[in-house]
Each structure stands twice: as C-alpha cells, then as structure tokens.
C-alpha cells in the first residue's frame, strides 16, 4: 500500500473526527451538559477498557509463554497506544464529576450510604486515585510495549526475559486499578449501590472487547499481507479466547445479577430495577442475547474460529455489544437524557475515528511483527493438528 492511500485514509479519519467534534460541541450547547458528560464518560470507559484489555492480552502472552500469539502480538501492542490518550480524556472527564455523579449532588450528605462512603468518595482522594491509575497504566504501557518495540532493533533476548518478569506484576496492577476505576467511574455514578464484583465485571467486558479488537486488527493486517505466516490456526486461538471470555463475562454478569435479584434488598436491587424495567428492558434483553448467545453459538464450532470472515463479523458484533454494555451501565443514571440520537452518533464518530487514527498511526511505524522476539519463528510454525 502506498503512502498516498495512507495519507488519504488519515485525512478522511481526521475529517470524520472533526465532524464528530463539532457534533459534540453542539450537544453541549443544544442538548445540555448532562447528555454531553454521559457520552463522554461512556467513551472514556470504553477506551480505558480497550487499552487495559489489550495490555492484559500482551501480559498474558508473556506469562503463559504461548507461542501462537507471538507473530500477532504487535496488534494488541499497537491498540494499547490508546493508553497515553486516556490522560486528556480523563482530564476532561473530571469535569463531569460535579455534573452527573450522585455523591456530588446537593443532598448527598443526607443519604446514609453516601455518608458512609464519603471517606472514599471525596474530591481529593478521587483525583488522587485517578492520577495513580493513569500513572500506573502509563508505566505499564512503557514497560510492556515500548521496550518490546525497541527490541525490534536491538534483537536482545534479555528484553523478552524482563518482559516476562514484569507481566505478573502488571496483572496485580491491573486487578487493583481496574477495580478502582470501575468503582470510581461507573458504580459511583450511583454511589449508594453496592457490588463487590463490579470490577471483575468490567474486566471481563474489557478483555472480551480487546480480543475482538485484536482479532479485527489481525484480520486487517493479514489481508494486507503484513502478517505473513499467520494462518487460520493462529486465528483459531483468538476465536477460542473470545469464546472463553464471552462465557466468563456471562458468568460474572449473571452471578452479579442473580445474587442481588434473589436477596431483593432495596439498597442493592434498585440499581438493577432501573436497568431491567421501562425502556431499559429492551437493552437488558439485547445484552443477554447479544453479549452471550450470539458469540457463544457463533464461535462454538472449530470451523467458526478458523473462518476469518465469520470471525470478523462476530468481532464487530462483540465491539458493538461492549458499547451496549457500557450504555446499559451508564445511561439510566448519568444520562438524564442519554438516548440514541444524533449526539450519540457524533460522539461515536469522533471517538471511533480518533481512536482508529491513533492506532493506525501507531501501526504504520516499525515492523508489523515483533522481529526481535526470539520466539517469533516458533510462533510462526504453530499449527493445530
């Protein structure tokens, strides 16, 4: 592919982002700040999930020492280039805290659960936690991805050793930060609600999303001949991971739902009541059918996971379901008018095109495979049976 087409595509993405940005500004002034902030939070959460999920996939490969994923590792590493951009997105998102978070609203000091949680939910500590999370994510991105990129030139096998040494530490960092992130930026929207496993819920969705995005990236790169030697057998493993994490997400989602539905305690169950009745009922049913049954049945056969066309459609579907999932989480509270309309389309246009721009810029730099990784050759030799 020539540089001209790359530039052409880059300009198109830039134009789309500009149109989206204009729509976002119009949302703020025409449709009110609440809808703007709800959409901004929605995309902040999705982008963070995508960045953290791809970092998780990279670290997972280093921990397990899997060979099949080495040739395609550059794809999640490049999608993780979204990580530094989380800083400006988060900085803007901070302005949504006084606007839509329930613990900042007037009268919050009269609600018992909010008073009990005020040691955790106050501005200084909240900002401190966000800063700590962002710093740890940047550090992890640097240690997991940047060093791997530099290995392309140095060909130093010791880098692989130290990457494998850092990966378990990243898993602990991820477990702690994604839990804090989920509590702070999603469940504290309705701060009276309790759910200990909410961090795991967001994590399960994040990894499923990251696998789907990685699969799409691999299929894209492969069709352009950038990943020679990556076969259907490699894709099969991505499909298998997506299948597994689909079931994991469903298990976690159902466990969280059933416990609160069964106990039926007013201080817990109101959260689900808002999300399963009224106009949200349809979204709830779509989530059950679309986030579980479609990928579950669509990825079950071995031939499904080896067919790149089918994988492509299911990956796109899974990405759409992550949007539906986060919409379902945020919409009933923060939205106060979050709906499906032109403002949502403008936000989607902006964040998708800007995100694609970031990822495709990153992908166009340097080799498309980790050529310095000593396991690359073994990874290319991988076959199923």
Partner 1 sequence: MRKPAYGVLALFPSADALLKAIPKVKARGYAQLEAYTPYPVHGLDAALGLPESKLGVLVFLMAAFGAVGVFAFEWWANAVNYPLLTGGKNAFTWPAWIPPTLEGSIFLGTFTAALAMLFIFNGLPFFGHPLLQTKTIDEITRDRFALLIVPSGAAFDEADAAAALRAAGGAAVETLPAPSHETPDAAWWTRTALAIAAACAVAGGATAFAIRVFPTVKPMVNMEVQPRLDAQEPDSFFANGRGMRLPPAGTVPRGGTPILAASLDAAGRELIDPLPVTEFVLERGRRQFDRHCAVCHDRLGTGRASLSSVYTAKPADLQSSTMRKIADGSLYWVISQGYNTMPAYAADVSPDDRWAIVRYIRALQRSQDAPERDLK
Which spans of this chain sit near partner 1 (rule: CB under 8 A)? 254, 257-258, 261-262, 264, 300-302, 383-385
The CB-of-90 to partner 1 minimum distance in angstroms stands at: 36
The CB-of-141 to partner 1 minimum distance in angstroms stands at: 35
The CB-of-295 to partner 1 minimum distance in angstroms stands at: 15
Which DSSP helix (H) or strand (E) runs through 171?
A: helix 157-185
* Residue 39 or 260 with smaller CB distance to partner 1: 260
* Residue 15 or 300 with smaller CB distance to partner 1: 300
* Residue 165 or 383 with smaller CB distance to partner 1: 383
Pairwise CA distance, residues 125 & 212, whole Å: 34
Q: Is 170 left (phi over 0), alpha (psi -120 to 50) or beta?
A: alpha
The CB-of-268 to partner 1 minimum distance in angstroms stands at: 14
* Residue 216 or 283 with smaller CB distance to partner 1: 283
* Residue 120 or 261 with smaller CB distance to partner 1: 261
The CB-of-264 to partner 1 minimum distance in angstroms stands at: 6
Pairwise CA distance, residues 100 & 97, whole Å: 6
Pairwise CA distance, residues 17 & 11, whole Å: 10
Pairwise CA distance, residues 136 & 351, whole Å: 23
The tokens for 84 are 């530094």
* Residue 140 or 256 with smaller CB distance to partner 1: 256
| Share in percent of the chain as helix, strand, coil (round to 5) | 80, 0, 20
The CB-of-254 to partner 1 minimum distance in angstroms stands at: 6
91 Cβ contact partners less than 8 Å away, ≥ 6 residues apart: none
Residue 209: is it exposed, middle or buried by C-beta count within 10 angstroms (0-12/13-18/19+)?
buried
């Amino acid at each position: 592919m020539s540089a001209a087409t790359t530039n052409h595509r880059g300009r198109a993405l830039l134009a789309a982002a500009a149109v989206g940005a204009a729509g976002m500004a119009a949302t703020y002034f025409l449709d009110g700040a609440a809808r703007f902030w709800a959409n901004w939070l929605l995309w902040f959460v999705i982008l963070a999930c995508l960045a953290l999920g791809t970092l998780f996939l990279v670290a997972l490969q280093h921990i397990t020492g899997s060979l099949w994923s080495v040739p395609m590792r550059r794809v999640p590493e490049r999608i993780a280039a979204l990580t530094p951009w989380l800083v400006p997105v988060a900085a803007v998102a901070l302005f949504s805290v006084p606007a839509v978070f329930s613990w900042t609203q007037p009268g919050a000091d009269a609600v018992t659960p909010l008073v009990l949680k005020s040691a955790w939910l106050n501005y200084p500590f909240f900002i401190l936690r966000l800063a700590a999370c962002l710093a740890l994510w940047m550090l992890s991105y640097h240690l997991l991805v940047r060093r791997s990129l530099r290995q392309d030139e140095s060909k130093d096998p010791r880098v692989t050793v130290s990457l494998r040494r850092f990966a378990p530490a990243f898993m602990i960092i991820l477990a702690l930060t994604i839990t804090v992130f989920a509590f702070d930026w999603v469940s504290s929207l309705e701060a009276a609600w309790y759910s200990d496993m909410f961090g795991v819920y967001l994590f399960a969705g994040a990894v499923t999303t990251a696998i789907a995005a990685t699969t799409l990236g691999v299929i894209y790169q492969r069709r352009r001949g950038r990943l020679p030697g990556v076969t259907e057998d490699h894709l099969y493993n991505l499909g298998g991971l997506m299948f597994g994490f689909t079931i994991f997400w469903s298990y976690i989602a159902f466990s969280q739902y059933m416990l609160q539905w069964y106990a039926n305690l007013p201080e817990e169950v109101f959260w689900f009541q808002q999300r399963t009745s009224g106009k949200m009922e349809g979204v709830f049913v779509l989530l059950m059918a679309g986030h579980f049954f479609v990928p579950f049945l669509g990825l079950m056969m071995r031939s499904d996971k080896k067919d790149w066309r089918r994988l492509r459609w299911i990956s796109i579907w899974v990405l759409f379901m992550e949007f539906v999932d986060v919409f379902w989480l945020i919409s009933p509270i923060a939205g106060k008018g979050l709906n499906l309309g032109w403002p949502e389309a403008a936000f989607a246009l902006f964040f998708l095109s800007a995100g694609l721009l970031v990822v495709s810029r990153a992908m166009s730099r340097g080799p498309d495979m980790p050529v310095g990784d000593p396991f690359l050759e073994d990874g290319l030799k991988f076959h199923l049976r």
